[in-house]
């Protein structure tokens, strides 16, 4: 090799090395989070960011909880989430909405069912509808899939829409670590059904996306708000991080025209383009609650120590009380109807004041750290005693059955405010007439006939037990003094008179 050639070769290597150094310049960021945000938001934008010479993004897609925890601990600079922050350590983080996506239900491609209603979806998750023939399909069980991770973005957001709270326990015994694995499970199961997002499933030809109430999810129907199950996607950051400035620069890049174009290529709507959806959110949630028949009461998370423990029928009585007051005041039927619709929103302000549909629980202080709410009775039987106490004590309403929800003494100030209005219904009646039912109630304390009972077996839900024993589910709940729809394995329930 000539000296001149050697010098040229050395100069070329130095030049290539310098170019590589320029391309690698900029912040080195770590992103960790859910598969949903990775596929639709971050992957392509990270490549464009690196190609522009702004730095490198290390991607660690897994699930929502792992990403948020990593940002809290400082092992990641950014996380992805399909839900907002829910309190605790997450309150110290910044959740920046960057796109709009659709929560979609997927099934096997050859499944004849192409559409389900919101009400049917609610009943499926409650374990009330269990066969595809009830949806117009084949006579086969519905194998409902869900993500097991506590606080998963897709599961949390869907349950918040259907039940008014994101940690609602559901009848989904088949659990996966993230939506990508869930979709794989559905591709292998002709009876499978599970929730994912439009951005993730739109290009997956091995699954079939169902319409909701006759509306197919698409960028058009999400953008107009006609598809009801739209949701925000977030990037999560820590403003006190040493790389906070670089993180903000990346988010600015993502929301630029170049980043927005990449979002649209994944069937996502840039957040700024869908601001009208944010203004429709409260009305949408109220409409869904009305459609699925969820009680309009304020429910707190199961893992919080202070929980309103009023029995379910008391919420109904409270509504009727407000209705009666409106009529007595001479406001007319229309005003009374409006009063009934707004009872839930007149409670004292709380972190859950915007919840329009929920189910109250009686979680104990001792289970404040429990983060596993997707397990069912059948799962509990499979995994053994590890989760038996969680299901029984963190979800079930313990205590002796009461003859009437009004007879239970309120446990805290929140309960007093709920129950205090009920006795006032009698104030509109003459005192003499009000005294008669009291006397009758005293005389009625006579031995009752023996009751038929049923022992809860693996896989049972309150709805399936009601159906097996030909009894209305509300009556079954009242007979057993249940606060919600949860039952535990081996529990003995009254199902009627002999």
Residue-wise pLDDT tens digits, 294-339: 754 333 333 223 223 233 333 333 333 344 344 434 444 444 444 4
Identify the band that residue 233 occupies on the pLDDT scale cut at 50, 70 and 90: very high
Q: What is the CATH number of domain 19-99+233-280?
A: 3.40.190.10
Angle between helices 275-292 and 118-125 (to 10 degrees): 70
Compute the distance between CA of residue 349 and CA of residue 342 in angstroms, rounded to an integer: 14
pLDDT of 281 higher than 60: yes
| % of the chain exceeding 70 in pLDDT | 63
Max avg pLDDT among 282-286, 296-300, 436-440: 282-286
pLDDT of 406 higher than 50: no
CATH class of 101-230: alpha beta
pLDDT of 415 higher than 80: no
| % of the chain exceeding 90 in pLDDT | 44
Beta bridge partners of 270: 99
Q: Determine how β-strand 230-237 pairs with β-strand 94-107.
A: antiparallel
Task: Please provide the average confidence, as pLDDT, over all residues in the chain.
Answer: 73
> What is the per-residue pLDDT for 423?
36
**Both tokens of residue 266?**
């994944």
pLDDT of 215 higher than 80: yes
Domain 19-99+233-280 shares a fold with domain 101-230: yes
pLDDT of 261 higher than 80: yes
pTM for the model: 0.57
Residue with the bigger pLDDT between 295 and 60: it is: 60
Identify the band that residue 60 occupies on the pLDDT scale cut at 50, 70 and 90: very high
> What is the per-residue pLDDT for 96?
95
pLDDT of 86 higher than 60: yes
**161 closest CA partner among 281, 37, 317, 306:** 281
Angle between helices 257-264 and 43-51 (to 10 degrees): 140
Compute the distance between CA of residue 104 and CA of residue 114 in angstroms, rounded to an integer: 12
- The answer to whether residues 343 and 319 touch, using CB atoms and an 8 Å cutoff, is yes
**142 closest CA partner among 127, 155, 157:** 127
Identify the band that residue 49 occupies on the pLDDT scale cut at 50, 70 and 90: very high
Domain residue ranges in the chain: 19-99+233-280, 101-230, 298-362+397-433
Beta bridge partners of 66: none
- In the 8-state DSSP scheme, what is residue 397? -
- The answer to whether residues 176 and 148 touch, using CB atoms and an 8 Å cutoff, is yes
**135 closest CA partner among 205, 211, 187:** 211
**Angle formed at CA 238 by CA 232 and CA 242, multiple of 5 degrees:** 145
**362 closest CA partner among 400, 395, 408:** 395
pLDDT of 12 higher than 80: no
Residue with the bigger pLDDT between 460 and 468: it is: 468
Average the pLDDT over 38-55 and give the result: 92
Compute the distance between CA of residue 453 and CA of residue 182 in angstroms, rounded to an integer: 38
Q: What tens digit of pLDDT does each residue of 88-120 get? A: 889 899 999 999 999 999 999 999 999 999 999
> What is the per-residue pLDDT for 483?
75
Q: What tens digit of pLDDT does each residue of 121-154 get? A: 999 999 999 999 999 999 999 999 999 876 899 9
Identify the band that residue 25 occupies on the pLDDT scale cut at 50, 70 and 90: low
DSSP element (H, E) containing 102 = strand 94-107
Helix %, strand %, coil % for the chain, to 5? 45, 15, 40
> What is the per-residue pLDDT for 378?
39
- Would you list the DSSP string of 209-256? EPEETTB---HHHHHHT-SS-EEEEEEEE-TTSTTHHHHHHHHHHHTS
Q: What tens digit of pLDDT does each residue of 333-356 get? A: 444 444 444 433 334 444 444 444
407 burial level (CB within 10 Å; 0-12, 13-18, 19+): exposed
Identify the band that residue 464 occupies on the pLDDT scale cut at 50, 70 and 90: confident
- The answer to whether residues 357 and 296 touch, using CB atoms and an 8 Å cutoff, is yes
Cα dist from 230 to 17, 83, 101, 284, 413, whole Å: 47, 11, 6, 10, 36
Q: What tens digit of pLDDT does each residue of 169-194 get? A: 899 888 998 999 999 999 999 999 99
- Would you list the DSSP string of 301-360? -TTSS------HHHHHHHHHHHHHHHHHTT-HHHHHHHHHHTGGGGSPP-TTTT--S---
**Both tokens of residue 465?**
């037990």
Residue with the bigger pLDDT between 55 and 486: it is: 55
């Amino acid at each position: 090799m000539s000296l001149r050639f050697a010098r040229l070769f050395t100069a070329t290597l130095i030049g290539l090395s310098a170019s590589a150094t320029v391309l690698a310049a900029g912040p080195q960021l770590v992103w960790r989070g859910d598969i949903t945000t990775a596929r639709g938001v971050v992957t392509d934008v990270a490549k464009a960011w690196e190609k522009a010479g702004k730095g490198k993004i290390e991607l660690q897609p897994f699930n929502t909880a792992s990403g948020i925890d990593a940002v809290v601990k400082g092992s990641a600079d950014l996380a992805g989430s399909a839900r907002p922050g829910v309190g605790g350590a997450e309150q110290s983080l910044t959740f920046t909405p960057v796109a709009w996506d659709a929560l979609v239900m997927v099934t096997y491609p050859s499944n004849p069912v192409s559409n389900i209603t919101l009400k049917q979806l609610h009943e499926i998750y409650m374990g009330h509808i269990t066969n595809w023939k009830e949806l117009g399909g084949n006579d086969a069980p519905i194998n409902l899939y869900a993500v097991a991770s506590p606080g998963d973005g897709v599961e949390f957001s869907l349950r918040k829409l259907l039940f008014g709270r994101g940690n609602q326990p559901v009848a989904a015994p088949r659990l996966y670590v993230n939506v990508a694995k869930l979709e794989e499970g559905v591709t292998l199961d002709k009876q499978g059904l599970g929730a994912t997002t439009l951005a993730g499933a739109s290009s997956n030809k091995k699954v079939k996306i169902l319409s909701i109430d006759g509306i197919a999810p698409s960028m058009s129907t999400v953008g107009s708000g006609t598809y009801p199950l739209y949701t925000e996607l977030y990037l999560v950051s820590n403003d006190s991080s040493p790389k906070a400035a670089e993180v903000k620069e990346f988010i600015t890049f993502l929301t630029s025209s170049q980043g927005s174009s990449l979002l649209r290529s994944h069937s996502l709507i840039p957040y700024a383009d869908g601001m009208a959806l944010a203004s429709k959110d409260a009305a949408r949630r109220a409409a869904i609650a009305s459609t699925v028949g969820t009680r309009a009461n304020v429910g707190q998370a199961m893992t919080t120590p202070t929980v309103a423990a009023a029995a379910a029928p008391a919420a109904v009585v409270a509504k009727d009380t407000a209705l009666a007051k409106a009529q007595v005041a001479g406001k007319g039927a229309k005003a009374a109807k409006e009063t009934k619709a707004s009872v839930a929103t007149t409670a004292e302000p709380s972190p859950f004041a915007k919840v329009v549909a929920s189910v109250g629980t009686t979680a104990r202080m001792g289970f404040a750290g429990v983060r596993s709410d997707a397990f069912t009775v059948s799962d509990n039987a499979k995994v053994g005693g590890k989760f038996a106490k969680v299901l029984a004590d963190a979800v079930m309403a313990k205590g002796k059955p009461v003859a009437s929800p009004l007879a239970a003494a309120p446990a805290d100030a929140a309960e007093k405010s709920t129950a205090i209005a009920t006795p006032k219904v009698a104030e509109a009646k003459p005192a003499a007439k009000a005294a008669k039912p009291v006397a009758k109630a005293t005389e009625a304390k006579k031995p009752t006939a023996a009751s038929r009972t049923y022992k809860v077996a693996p896989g049972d839900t309150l709805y399936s037990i009601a159906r097996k024993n030909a009894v209305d589910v509300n009556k079954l709940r009242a007979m057993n003094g249940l606060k919600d729809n949860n039952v535990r394995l081996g529990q003995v329930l009254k199902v009627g008179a002999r």
